[in-house]
Amino acid sequence: MTVRVRFSPAPTGYLHVGGARSALFNWLYARKTGGTFILRIEDTDADRSRPELIDNIRDSLRWLGLDWDEEYRQSDRFDQYLAAIDGFLDRGQAYYCDCSQTDVRARVGENAGYDGHCRDRNVAKPADGTGGVVVRFRTPDEGTTGWDDLIRGRVEFENSVIEDFVIVRSSGVPMFHLANACDDFDMGITHVIRGEDLINTVPRVLLLLDALGATEPPHYAHLPLIVNEQRKKLSKRRDDVSVGDYTNRGYLAEAMRNYLVTLGWGAKDDVEIRPISEIIERFDLADINKAPAFFDVKKLDHFNGEYIRMLDLDAFVEASRPFAGPVDDDLYRRLARSVHERIRHYDEIPALIDWVVGEPPEPDGKDWRKVMGRDDVANVLDLVAERLETVAWEPEALAEAVLGAGEVLGTKSQLPVRMAVTGRRSGLPLFEPMAELERSTVLERIRKARGRLD
């Protein structure tokens, strides 16, 4: 049996890290087994679907290196769904229902599902798009529906708790469960790997699949959810989790992908950061965890820093260049070596080099007081300025001039000078970048800082 898996996002939002993780696990399984990875856009709900987001989803997947082998769009397949529904109707497996939601609510109360009121009322097929008539699927009243989840083990639901659910809206448009069952059947999906939030929909789809005549339903594997700090399912609104945001902030696709793998799965040998080929080799659905995992940006940052440091200087310069801002190519290259080893994502770069490229930032008040509050700072700045008037303008000499001034005065001179010239109390090693500036510029900054002391 050749494995066929699918990632089935609804285009109702940007691809977020939870979706990306689902896509990734499907992809890993396909690549491991030599199977087929399918992208299926679930856009049956025209009101919520935003076609422009399909491109965002595709771009994010591509960025992560998750290439797909086939692509479908459910909105292209309504004919199939409608044909399936006609079959259900003919065979009495589904029926028309004209109950309004308030009717149902009035009959059964707040907490119960649909009561089967129209099961045998023979509600007539409505003229197209009129009259609030839906199609409901007739579910069994007794027995159980269950499956052996590859991650969770046996899961069973009493059929009595599964209401006769809607499969066609009153607008005539088929709904998610139906489209899902038809597609998984038609596309020969062998494994359904997705988030645990969908676990409750399985019995309905299983029932539908059976009604469709599927003798061998897919295997299901429900992934633990990725949660936020409050241990709640990630929300696109509340949580900052779109994949595109991480792209924009200078995270590497390889790092993101590698980090995502560690949420819910770990290699037996405890090695976390490793090439994707090794991950594919070791990955197995049976080893996936059941408990939800917190998306920890701090750890992602660590992974990303590691991946950045794995880059050789040329690759780093090229990849990080777009984040560096307006800086001369050769100058950036000269600065890159020390930038390379102290960032965790590329968008930290501007704050490291802005004072070399342009003006330093307005110093943070607290940092300023901490560094410039000492009594001897004025003397340091005066002596350094005096020395810099005549020193040879190259890093070694600058270091000697600045550090030597401190020695002469019996104090530390590097920090005040750094604060004066860069606007910050920490950053790149000082003297090489400082030598990139004009002598007059450096002197001006030092005198300006001197003037600001008390």
We find the least distance from the C-beta atom of residue 57 to RNA, in angstroms, to be 12
Where in 279-338 is the site for RNA (CB under 7 A)?
A: 286-287, 289-294, 296, 298-299, 301-302, 305-306, 309, 338
Contact call for residue 132 and RNA (CB under 7 A) = yes
Binding mask 222-261 for RNA (x = CB under 7 A): --xx-x--xxxx----------------------------
For 244-250, the CB contacts below 8 A with 24+ separation are 244/14, 244/15, 244/56, 244/59, 244/60, 246/17, 246/300, 247/60, 247/63, 248/347, 249/345, 249/346, 249/347, 250/320, 250/323, 250/345, 250/346, 250/347, 250/348, 250/349
We find the least distance from the C-beta atom of residue 324 to RNA, in angstroms, to be 17
Burial of residue 308 (number of CB atoms within 10 Å: 0-12, 13-18, 19+): buried
Is there a catalytic annotation at residue 236? yes
Contact call for residue 399 and RNA (CB under 7 A) = yes
Task: Please tell me which residue in 32, 236, 299, 412 is annotated as part of the active site.
Answer: 236
Exactly one of 1, 90, 101, 277 binds RNA (CB under 7 A); that residue is 101
CA atoms within 13 A on the CB side of 332: 19
Q: Quote the tokens at residue 429.
A: 């090693």
Exactly one of 5, 10, 57, 189 binds RNA (CB under 7 A); that residue is 10
We find the least distance from the C-beta atom of residue 200 to RNA, in angstroms, to be 4
Contact indicator for 52, 300 with CB cutoff of 8 Å:
no
We find the least distance from the C-beta atom of residue 415 to RNA, in angstroms, to be 6
Exactly one of 82, 319, 331, 403 binds RNA (CB under 7 A); that residue is 403
Contact call for residue 264 and RNA (CB under 7 A) = yes
Q: Quote the tokens at residue 25.
A: 């696990």
- Backbone φ and ψ of 47, nearest 5°: -70, -35
Binding mask 357-396 for RNA (x = CB under 7 A): --------------------------------------x-
We find the least distance from the C-beta atom of residue 133 to RNA, in angstroms, to be 7
As a whole number of angstroms, the distance between CA 441 and CA 447 comes to 10
We find the least distance from the C-beta atom of residue 302 to RNA, in angstroms, to be 4
Contact call for residue 102 and RNA (CB under 7 A) = no
Contact call for residue 275 and RNA (CB under 7 A) = no
Exactly one of 29, 96, 137, 176 binds RNA (CB under 7 A); that residue is 176
Contact indicator for 231, 294 with CB cutoff of 8 Å:
yes
Binding piece for RNA, criterion CB under 7 A, among 51-59, 242-250, 266-274, 378-386: 266-274
Nearer residue to RNA within complex by CB, 2 or 121: 121
- Dihedral of CA atoms 214, 216, 219, 220 in degrees, nearest 10, equals 30
Task: Return all residues near 25 (Cβ < 8 A) that are at least 6 apart.
Answer: 193, 223, 264, 265, 285, 288
Q: Where are the alpha helices (DSSP H) in 235-322?
A: 243-248, 253-261, 276-282, 297-310, 313-320
Residues in binding contact with RNA, number by CB under 7 A: 89
Contact call for residue 175 and RNA (CB under 7 A) = yes
Q: Output DSSP code: residue 418.
A: H
Angle between helices 365-372 and 414-422 (to 10 degrees): 150
We find the least distance from the C-beta atom of residue 330 to RNA, in angstroms, to be 20
Nearer residue to RNA within complex by CB, 2 or 171: 171
Q: Which residues are catalytic?
A: 236
